[in-house]
Structure 1
Amino acid sequence: MITRIEIDGFKSFLDFQLDVPPFLALVGPNSSGKSNLFDALQYVRHAALRDEDPLLASRRGRPHELFHRVRKGTGVTRFDLRAHTLTQLGEGLLPNLYEAGAELGEDGLPESAEVRWSPPKDILNRLSPWMRDKYGDAVLELVRAAQLLPEEDVDAWRLSRRVVESEVGTWRLHQPDPDRLRGWSSAADHGPLRADGSNLASVLGRLSSRGAIEELLVDLVALIPDIAGIEPILDDRRQEWTFDVLVDGQGAIPSTLLSDGTLRVIALLAALHDPDHAGVLLIEEIENGLHPSRLAELLRRIQGRVTDLDDPECVNRPLRQVILTTHSPVVVSELYRLRPDALVFLDTAVRVDPEKDRISRVTVAKPVKSEAVLSLRRRRGEHRDRRLPIDLRPRQDDRRAARAGERLPPALRPQRPQGTGQGGPGRAGLGNAHTRDRAGAGSGDRGVAPRGRGRVAPVERERPRTAARPPSGRREDRGPQENTRRGGAAPRKTRS
């Protein structure tokens, strides 16, 4: 599990640092550096495993193009990558620091630097109390492993290889190709889901034999309700797997007829539910092939599968982490509501370095956790009184009453001089709803009294009636001559 990333001089990054939670969504416009961050992690992986030259294994860019490009000034001749991790060893957690990089030689050709692995500095200060105990368990696990080796083979290299393979070997890129997802795959393939998903049928067959496909089906039905089941099929003669999907009203549909979106969802859930291959899953543009109305449910399903580092019992299960990129506003809105610490906005900015006389465009990270928490407090009204003791804070009912115009309790009611206000002297103040007087301010004045919830209506005092007076706004009935004399038209006669 990756806990922190530090990148300097690689592609669009200069002095870049980012703390990584178990569930992280990278959001940003095109060319903001989201895929470059995945490339940096893949570089560390290849350098640590030594399966191939990391400079040549880059999926995007030639070796000399991996260095940061500047618009003006001295160019970058070296890049360094650091990945802080938590490795699960037995019942313990071992913090690690992997360092990799490359440098331009005198001839201008890049050369990869030797990968280094070491415990981070001040390791105990960075761990929570329960993680410190798990760190001790991991150290004991390493000691036991060293005791099982012959004396001539006990060295740091053998032990470090075991740690490296158990950590960076679990970092997997997830970029499924629908055409490859439909194909057959060998029954001898017991590995994790490949980046292009070409062994999806083998993974589903292994999940079926392990009894883990039922949990996958629960999440799949929540995302695509028409699906009733998944049936892996093994061809004994060819020793290859394929699979059918059971659809309500249609029966068994072979994988060759399934839509791209359905195949993408099945592949993602297969990687999340694989009990034999947990680790870090790097997902490019998770919204591809999925209807926007299902994205929120997919995020909730992913959140339920990743590791919760606040729970000490997480060490009893394989560590699982998801880092994804997205352009979808649905993903941003849902995570902003449910888990704002999982959102990080990536953008680019022009950086000017006067010391090196260098101008370049770099990737910057903008976490939204603090802004999201403040926004939630503003919506709830908590920011107004959060510094007061709990027993002195006004209740929500009192705030609603103040907005609606009802009377506050006497202890919270502001005091105003009697007989002053917008109505002028001699009348009750009508401008403040909390200081209105029920009885008025003097004889002959109009008082106010509450009517209904939060509403104030004027109360007319009775006036002495000296003569019959028509209602206001109406003209009393007069005869035809009177109406004509006042300029009105005479009424038209009608025949009986």
Structure 2
Amino acid sequence: MHRSDRFQTTPIITGAGGHIPATLYRLATRAERDGKEMADVYAAVANRLARLVPIRSLEVEVDDVRQMLTVVAQERSGVRLPAAALSDGTLRFLTLAVLVADPEQRGLICIEEPENGIHPARMVEMTELLQMLAVEPTTMPDDENPLRQVIVATHSPVFVQLQQPENILFAQEVKIRTKAGTIARTLRFLADDSCLRSCPLTGR
């Protein structure tokens, strides 16, 4: 996530959050080809990010000599920082904001503990960002509503309490006997919303 991208990098965000510069630059240049401003793409992503971290603006700097693309963010203090100087938490949020903006990112997206690195007071904004990332099921999928499903694993009671009951699965570890007669551990998923009343929200 911290690295710059070469011009020839495939502009799709990887499972580990790599290639943010190339992906964001692709979105900006496509907007320019469509008669829009590249700055508007950067501003839209920065505005989503600013709800979670103190970022005023961002852009992709193009180094024609080295043929490199680098994300540069400007903090509210006015300091400009390349991605290499941003925190892991900020880069995770930036990855989500770019994913929301990219109609080519489709399919299943799995996210581990999105609450890491975020103040509990910002959990509502994080939830809204994840909801924006998922397809709106009442609307026909298209470029404005890409067909994406988001699965989140969390240990945060605060995050769980912000979700609609129909969007929650509780995972319970159980022991089963295999065909070979040995005992193995597996997970049983509970979707009954009565769990919200009977299961303690301990994060386990």
* Aligned partners of 1:185 and 1:202 also within 8 Å: yes
Aligned residue in 2 for 1:332 = 160
Q: 2:2 aligns with which of 182, 206, 214?
A: 182
* Aligned partners of 2:13 and 2:19 also within 8 Å: yes
CA RMSD of aligned residues (A): 2.5
Aligned residue in 1 for 2:184 = 360
Aligned residue in 1 for 2:11 = 191
Question: Letter of the aligned partner of 1:260 in structure 2?
Answer: D
Task: Measure how far apart 1:219 and its partner are.
Answer: 1.3
Supply the distance in 1 between the matched residues of 2:88 and 2:192 (Cα, whole angstroms).
33
With normalisation by structure 2, the TM-score equals 0.80
* Aligned partners of 1:192 and 1:271 also within 8 Å: no
Question: Letter of the aligned partner of 1:213 in structure 2?
Answer: Y
Question: Letter of the aligned partner of 1:367 in structure 2?
Answer: A
Task: Please state if 1:244 is matched with 2:87.
Answer: no
Task: Please state if 1:276 is matched with 2:104.
Answer: yes
Supply the distance in 1 between the matched residues of 2:27 and 2:95 (Cα, whole angstroms).
12
Task: Measure how far apart 1:301 and its partner are.
Answer: 2.0
Report the CA distance shift for 1:359/1:243 in structure 2 as closer, same or farther (over 3 A). closer
Aligned residue in 1 for 2:55 = 227
Aligned residue in 2 for 1:343 = 168
Question: Letter of the aligned partner of 2:23 in structure 1?
Answer: V
Task: Report 1:386-397 matches (<5 A).
Answer: none
Task: Report 1:365-380 matches (<5 A).
Answer: 365-372=189-196
Supply the distance in 1 between the matched residues of 2:11 and 2:72 (Cα, whole angstroms).
21
Give the match's secondary structure for 1:205.
helix
Task: Report 1:13-28 matches (<5 A).
Answer: none
- Measured against aligned partners, the alpha-carbon deviations of 1:160-191 in whole angstroms (never above 9, x if no partner) come to xxxxxxxxxxxxxxxxxxxxx22111122243
Q: 1:202 aligns with which of 22, 31, 39?
A: 22
Report the CA distance shift for 1:215/1:245 in structure 2 as closer, same or farther (over 3 A). same
Q: 1:293 aligns with which of 104, 108, 121?
A: 121
Report the CA distance shift for 1:356/1:182 in structure 2 as closer, same or farther (over 3 A). closer
With normalisation by structure 1, the TM-score equals 0.35
Supply the distance in 2 between the matched residues of 1:198 and 1:305 (Cα, whole angstroms).
18
Give the match's secondary structure for 1:314.
coil
Task: Measure how far apart 1:370 and its partner are.
Answer: 4.7
* Aligned partners of 2:169 and 2:191 also within 8 Å: yes
Q: 2:91 aligns with which of 248, 260, 263?
A: 263
Aligned residue in 1 for 2:34 = none
Which consecutive segments of 4 or more residues in structure 1 shift more than 4 A? 355-358
* Aligned partners of 2:52 and 2:118 also within 8 Å: no
Supply the distance in 1 between the matched residues of 2:77 and 2:11 (Cα, whole angstroms).
34
Question: Letter of the aligned partner of 2:168 in structure 1?
Answer: L
Task: Please state if 1:302 is matched with 2:126.
Answer: no
Runs of at least 5 residues in structure 1 that lack an aligned partner in the other structure: 1-180, 376-496
Give the match's secondary structure for 1:297.
helix
Aligned residue in 1 for 2:47 = 218
Task: Measure how far apart 1:256 and its partner are.
Answer: 2.3
Report the CA distance shift for 1:352/1:190 in structure 2 as closer, same or farther (over 3 A). closer
Supply the distance in 2 between the matched residues of 1:356 and 1:295 (Cα, whole angstroms).
45
Supply the distance in 2 between the matched residues of 1:360 and 1:292 (Cα, whole angstroms).
36
Task: Report 1:105-144 matches (<5 A).
Answer: none
Give the match's secondary structure for 1:269.
helix
- Measured against aligned partners, the alpha-carbon deviations of 1:421-449 in whole angstroms (never above 9, x if no partner) come to xxxxxxxxxxxxxxxxxxxxxxxxxxxxx
Alignment length (residue pairs)? 188
- Measured against aligned partners, the alpha-carbon deviations of 1:191-227 in whole angstroms (never above 9, x if no partner) come to 3201223312212222222344333222112222x31
Question: Letter of the aligned partner of 1:278 in structure 2?
Answer: R
* Aligned partners of 1:201 and 1:241 also within 8 Å: yes
Supply the distance in 2 between the matched residues of 1:283 and 1:329 (Cα, whole angstroms).
16
Task: Measure how far apart 1:285 and its partner are.
Answer: 1.8
Task: Measure how far apart 1:248 and its partner are.
Answer: 1.8
* Aligned partners of 1:221 and 1:228 also within 8 Å: yes
* Aligned partners of 2:97 and 2:129 also within 8 Å: no
Report the CA distance shift for 1:200/1:293 in structure 2 as closer, same or farther (over 3 A). same
- Measured against aligned partners, the alpha-carbon deviations of 1:226-245 in whole angstroms (never above 9, x if no partner) come to 31111110111121100211
For the pair shown, the structure with the greater C-alpha radius of gyration is 1
Supply the distance in 2 between the matched residues of 1:201 and 1:208 (Cα, whole angstroms).
11
Supply the distance in 2 between the matched residues of 1:368 and 1:233 (Cα, whole angstroms).
49
Report the CA distance shift for 1:213/1:340 in structure 2 as closer, same or farther (over 3 A). farther
Question: Letter of the aligned partner of 1:219 in structure 2?
Answer: R
Supply the distance in 1 between the matched residues of 2:133 and 2:95 (Cα, whole angstroms).
15
Task: Measure how far apart 1:352 and its partner are.
Answer: 4.8
Supply the distance in 1 between the matched residues of 2:141 and 2:194 (Cα, whole angstroms).
26
